[in-house]
Amino acid sequence: MFDTLQDRLHEVFKNLRGKSRLTEADIDATAREIRLALLEADVNLGVVKEFIANLKSRALGADVHKALNPSQQIIKIVDEELVAILGGEARPLRFAKRPPTVIMLAGLQGSGKTTLAGKLGLWLKGQGHSPLLVAADLQRPNAVNQLQVVGERAGVHVYAPEPGNGVGDPVQVARQSILHAMSKLYDVVVVDTAGRLGIDSELMQQAADIRAAVNPTEVLFVVDAMIGQDAVNTASAFDDGVGFDGVVLTKLDGDARGGAALSIAKVIGKPIMFASNGEGLKDFDAFHPDRMASRILGMGDVLTLIEQAEKTFDAEQTAKAAEKLLGGRGEFGLDDFLQQMQAVRRMGPLSKILGMMPGMGQMKDQINNIDEREIDRLEAIIKSMTPAERANPKILDGSRRTRIAKGSGTTVTDVNSLVNRFFDARKMMQSLGGQMGGPGMPGMPGARRQPPRQAPKPKGRGKGVSGNPAKRAAGPAEPAAAAAQPEWNPADAFGLGKSGQPSDADLAKALGDFQLPPDLAKMFDQPKNQGPR
């Protein structure tokens, strides 16, 4: 949604980089470009004026002129001002001291209230609550049935005593739902109310009656982020007529300019509490102004990415895979690779995940062109292998790869590409793990002990120690103190004694322990009456 604004801001900041000092003309030009970018994004005019005024007053201050990198200081100011117009700090959901907590959803028809009720129920369930969805929209055709389907998909119970489609009293349903929740020990009640195509007296009266009947802990106004400035006008009218505590933005994954998201919190004075950015039930989370500002500026959203990874990945399974990857126990195989790939897929579309990573704002076209079906083909190839082949891909010869290609509906080239990329990725991760202190590194558990370093030879023309082991052994005896701390002899690493010459016992032991490689040993194990092949 914020792609256009993000591109414009990137061009503005690109012109600032490399300047060691910013003049007043530079700041005016930057402010003008940012103003145009915000207006093109359909941000409210009053919000834009206040934003630019704060930007110029802070940019002309001493902090920017004394900064070592003025352009980065300007970016910091823009980031802080974006966070301010998005609401400042994240506003958590309030819960009643005495259950059940009642959450009332309101908004225009088509804003996505019913689907959002299922998403909110699933989110509350993940937070350890026991939610109940209430079908109080009895006017829109099949609204009750839709909520029942969404609730079943989310694994959340739905209270729907009336069939809807114009039949039943929504105020009575809402009132009875509280008694039902108390008797069945539900601690959160989410009431889905009816909407209209526009603000009218009937809608306002019904919403006010339901609010009076259930006395909700939170009233959330659901806004379609794609309708632009009309979302701000609708929210203002609803706040004046009924009142609400927070805003929920839906359809943030759309291609609209996103001005409503940047305007509504500042104009209405109500915090944005949740955001929905997809059609899936899991495409829903609490709204964090600082993270949204970071996304708009192309700096990614690492915290949300980490939170999603923590919810998706199995910590024990990931630890075992990392241990295998670093050579601690067994070897990282295609089964482990498949498990990690499936965990990444559970986080959501790859384009969405990559978009949260810092620096990926300049690769939007490549990210948007990612083919999600490619992962399905990789999964089909791996599942067409036997357990032994997944554990040790090195045994995959030509016939095995042909069989796997036929079983997965791909080509041998696809199989070869997967195997080669897997080996390359495993080698790279093992090297990175070693550099970061993996097994085998000095000072780490399981590390191989390194021989002590020899003391440097003294400078000058004085007598030094001979590098020939034989001459050194024949030289004068060393002091007793030196003998008490024997110096490491390079010859010892090759099985030689202190004299530099192997003894008979050393040779016998070395020859007894020596083993030829298996392929080479076969050449020497042939019967004597057979010549070489």
394: Cβ–Cβ under 8 A, 6 or more apart, which residues? none
Q: For residue 182, list its beta bridge partners.
A: none
Nearest to 340 by CA among 309, 301, 371, 381: 309
Per the annotation, does 110 bind a ligand?
yes
Per the annotation, does 411 bind a ligand?
no
Determine the Cα–Cα distance for residues 347 and 311; give it in Å rounded to an integer: 8
Strand pairing category for 246-250 and 284-286: unpaired
Per the annotation, does 114 bind a ligand?
yes
> CB burial class (10 A; 0-12, 13-18, 19+) of residue 323?
middle
Provide the 3-class DSSP secondary structure of residue 221: strand
Per the annotation, does 112 bind a ligand?
yes
Q: Which amino acid is at 158?
A: V
The answer to whether the beta carbons of residues 327 and 429 sit under 8 Å apart is no
Q: What is the greatest pairwise CA distance in the chain? A: 111
Provide the 3-class DSSP secondary structure of residue 448: coil
The answer to whether the beta carbons of residues 277 and 253 sit under 8 Å apart is yes
The answer to whether the beta carbons of residues 108 and 250 sit under 8 Å apart is no
Q: What is the DSSP letter of 162?
A: S
Alpha helices (H) along 155-282: 170-184, 201-214, 229-241, 259-268
Per the annotation, does 194 bind a ligand?
yes
Determine the Cα–Cα distance for residues 492 and 108; give it in Å rounded to an integer: 84
Within 13 Å of residue 326, how many CA atoms lie on the same side as its CB? Answer: 20
Per the annotation, does 252 bind a ligand?
yes
The token pair that represents 501 in the structure block: 């010459």
Per the annotation, does 109 bind a ligand?
yes
In 3-state terms the chain splits into helix, strand, coil percentages (rounded to 5) of: 55, 10, 35
Provide the 3-class DSSP secondary structure of residue 247: strand
Strand pairing category for 272-276 and 284-286: antiparallel
Q: What is the DSSP letter of 281?
A: T
Per the annotation, does 130 bind a ligand?
no
Provide the 3-class DSSP secondary structure of residue 240: helix
The answer to whether the beta carbons of residues 501 and 470 sit under 8 Å apart is yes
Per the annotation, does 111 bind a ligand?
yes
Per the annotation, does 406 bind a ligand?
no
> What is the number of other CB atoms lying within 10 angstroms of the CB of residue 461?
5
Q: Which amino acid is at 484?
A: A
Q: Which amino acid is at 374?
A: E
Per the annotation, does 217 bind a ligand?
no
> What is the number of other CB atoms lying within 10 angstroms of the CB of residue 19?
13
Per the annotation, does 250 bind a ligand?
yes
The token pair that represents 472 in the structure block: 């050194």
Task: Give Cα separations from 461 to 389, 401, 464 (angstroms).
Answer: 64, 67, 8
Per the annotation, does 211 bind a ligand?
no
Residue ranges for the binding site for GTP?
A: 107-114, 192-196, 250-253
Residue ranges for the binding site?
A: 107-114, 192-196, 250-253
